[in-house]
Amino acid sequence: MPLLQVRDLVVRFDTGEGSVHAVNGVSYDLEAGETLGVVGESGSGKSVHVLSMLGLIPMPPGRIAGGSVLFEGRDLLKLSDRELRRLRGREIGMIFQDPMTSLNPVLSVKTQITEALVTHRLMSRNAANKRAVELLDLVGIPDPHKRVMQYPHQFSGGMRQRVMIAIGIACEPKLLIADEPTTALDVTVQGQVLDLMRDLKKKLGMAMIWITHDMGVVAGIADTVQVMYGGRIMERGPVRAVFKDTRNAYTWGLLRSLPDHEMPLPKDGERAAIPDEPAERQRLVQIPGSPPDMFNPPKGDPFAPRNIYATERCRQEVPPLLPAPDGAAGHLVAAWYDLRTQREHTA
């Protein structure tokens, strides 16, 4: 049985202006030890679908309108608030985007790390303090015995993110969810954090869901990439297959908008290099048009209004997520058109 099974998840936000169709029938499996990179632009549903399954969206205005989320066979959507609180932090860890808003500025780092250990692992205070020092050392913070007593404002941005990682892995969860944890970091620190997460994954054997808008980060850390747009999965599969044999026009647009859309992919066991800043000779290709109005989403494929390869069927029917013809194992695409053939004709 997969560690996580998401089936037909539907999330709505009810407002005075109408209902926002944030997530529209998302389904996928996550295996134990697998790293899934979820990518898409703002409003694609990549963060909302994960936060909703953990009870972390405000209800109301948010609501789960359909679907199921099985974690080791338990439907998270049917758990009580108390049961979800026991699960979060112990079996499912979280790392958020901005550590300055996630960390409590008036509590020491030691207090914030030990809270999870005392609550979920029932450790004594002395044992939790010792473990907090070990965790800071594990995530690469120098002089952990001294720094564990300090406060968040005494750490740099990269070091604060390492503290967040230490909190997220404190109870050695089976699944770690990272919601754009490197967005505010410079490229050098970003690479260091990705290396750290790869090492921790090997040591702890945990699965990860890495939410990002950056395809370069996905190439550097994920086993599987899932591209979302308009609250739907547009393409999903092994990173190498999706990057080198792209089948959805939206995925192709994201890759072409990178500084170097021909980025080298990692060999087995290696980390991909994060693309450098674009040189003057490089030209970035913009995706035309605007994201869909989620109060009134398109009738068919949500990307059809921006897709030069869209057919009339794309505008009328939502394409199902199916195996890519002649594609790699596990490579799925939602498209009524054959992108490879279309690109050859328009080249």
CA distance 86 to 90: 7
Mean pLDDT for the stretch of residues 50-79: 91
Q: Give the residue with greater pLDDT, 38 vs 281.
A: 38
Give the CA distances from residue 221 to residues 112, 207, 266, in Å, rounded to whole numbers and listed in that order. Answer: 27, 12, 10
In a domain, 83, yes or no: yes
In a domain, 196, yes or no: yes
Closest CA relative to residue 191, chosen from 152, 161, 154:
161
Residues 132-139: contacts with CB under 8 Å, at least 24 apart: 132/166, 132/170, 135/166, 135/169, 135/170, 136/109, 136/162, 136/163, 136/166, 138/166, 138/169, 138/200, 138/203, 139/163, 139/165, 139/166, 139/169, 139/196, 139/200
Give the predicted TM-score (pTM) of the model.
0.85
Helix (H, G, I), strand (E, B) or coil at 133: helix
pLDDT band at 8 (very low <50, low <70, confident <90, very high): very high
In a domain, 124, yes or no: no
* Domain extent at residue 32: 4-91+171-270+282-346
User: What average pLDDT does the chain have?
Assistant: 85
CA distance 54 to 177: 10
In a domain, 158, yes or no: no
**Is pLDDT of 63 > 50?**
yes
Residue 279 has what pLDDT? 43
Which CATH number do you get for residue 76? 3.40.50.300
Mean pLDDT for the stretch of residues 37-46: 90
In a domain, 164, yes or no: no
Give the CA distances from residue 286 to residues 69, 116, 345, in Å, rounded to whole numbers and listed in that order. Answer: 35, 44, 21
Residue 264 has what pLDDT? 46
**115-119, 145-149, 245-249: least confidently modelled range:** 115-119
**63-72, 251-260, 325-334: least confidently modelled range:** 251-260
Residue 231 has what pLDDT? 93
Tally of structural domains, the chain? 1
In a domain, 105, yes or no: no
**Is pLDDT of 97 > 80?**
no
pLDDT tens, residue by residue, 242-264: 999 999 999 998 888 776 544 44
Q: Which helix (H) or strand (E) holds 52?
A: helix 46-53
CA distance 101 to 179: 13
Give the CA distances from residue 96 to residues 3, 181, 182, 224, in Å, rounded to whole numbers and listed in that order. Answer: 22, 6, 9, 21
In a domain, 165, yes or no: no
pLDDT band at 274 (very low <50, low <70, confident <90, very high): very low
In a domain, 104, yes or no: no
Q: Residue 326: left (phi > 0), alpha (psi -120 to 50), or beta?
A: left
**Is pLDDT of 1 > 90?**
no
CA angle 234, 238, 240 (to 5 degrees): 105
Winning range, highest mean pLDDT, from 187-196, 206-215, 311-320: 311-320
Q: Could you tell me if 105 and 152 are in contact, meaning their C-beta atoms sit under 8 angstroms apart?
A: yes
